[in-house]
Structure 1
Amino acid sequence: MDEILLVDDESGLLEILQITLNKEGFTNIHTASTGLQAIELVKKYSFDLIILDIMLPDIDGLEVCRQMRLESNALILFLTAKDEDTDKIIGLTVGGDDYITKPFNPLEIVARVKAHLRRQKRASSSLRRETPLTIWKLSENVRVIKESGQIIVNKKEIDCPAKEFELLIFLCEHPNRIFSVRQLYQYVWGELSLGDDKTIAVHISRLRKKIEYDPKNPTILINSRGLGYKLLLSDNGGEH
């Protein structure tokens, strides 16, 4: 059963979201009205998805996300004010997977939650069925192991949030092919996600910091201006 955490200081909004999610069959729902409460809950429970408001009374939601990422790779969906583009970008940079703009229809939240969890389950199911391990050699010092969810850089494992890793796996499975932002949303985020260049760009930037020798001059994750992104992989880059 999916474990969901709702974090917002508006008690009425928390109640509406909880009731709406309950009606759709989500019963393992925890709530927090402050950042400190949310961080303590993440240390205590293994959440599948977290809905996190950026504006909290004690700790900024962005800092809460940073601290959550030390404990959890759960999907994190930010709640942001309508025109706060800067918060959206920073939220993705610190480890968020997607964002939802206020005001919103609670049914939109439910649809987004279902889409993200459905894709995550499909990915997990696929990983359990596939043997032996699928390993990509992205460079002399970088390996990606699909089934174990690992990125190995210089023989050390690098932490990677779920959505970020899912994007990397998709590009590894389709090497040397350019994908537009719209296509990456469709294949990795799902049809209900926002078609915004910033989300893809920030996730690519985060991946580059993990796998590129020089993130400012990438040789693995390439941006073909006006076309999209591709992952460069030599013919012998995939190991099985």
Structure 2
Amino acid sequence: MTLGLSLADQIALELRADIIGGRLLPGMPLIEAELVNSYNASRNTIREALHRLGQEGLTRYVRNKGVMVRRLERAEVRDLFVVRRTLELQAIAQSGPLTDAQSGRMQSAIEATTLAREREDWRAVATHSLVFHQQIVALMHSPLFDEFFAQVIAQLRLVFCAAPDEQRFQSPWLERDREIYGLLADHNKPAASEAMSLYLDDSEHLSLALFDHP
């Protein structure tokens, strides 16, 4: 168990990671008895973990069905992109030249996205691209923002899962992530900010379009 975290916290983090990784999809039930066995935890601990996920906007309780992974609404998606613009553009604006460690983490995310695309594993493409954007926010050196943005990323993952054609939905972003990384590596903040702003505009447009075709 991670130092300083309760078992319930650790279980919540692992379930969130399963959402970000595309292993838990919108509408999937989180069955208490199965989680008790999987994590060798008490029912109270599992309930506490599920309650935390509910507070993060990732699960909901459905009468007579129990706890399920959430499907987000259009207004919530708009709000997620308000948050993304605020955090990602601010991170670029206040960033200094990339350190070797920062550059390495961004490159690793891009390389993982590239390999996933070569395998045509579009779910993994989405996951690794989101990891790249987590590294953008990490430029602010704020553990609080990092934790908050991880919750935002998990909610976005639930939106992306709704795409009927994952290949079409995920194909455009790798080259644009590479472009943003290259501009940051050159410390061209104005161009990186402009590229990110256009990226987020287009991503929001495509995400909201998912609600037009139920």
Structure 1-normalised TM-score? 0.26
Please identify which structure carries the higher helix content: 2
Structure 2-normalised TM-score? 0.29
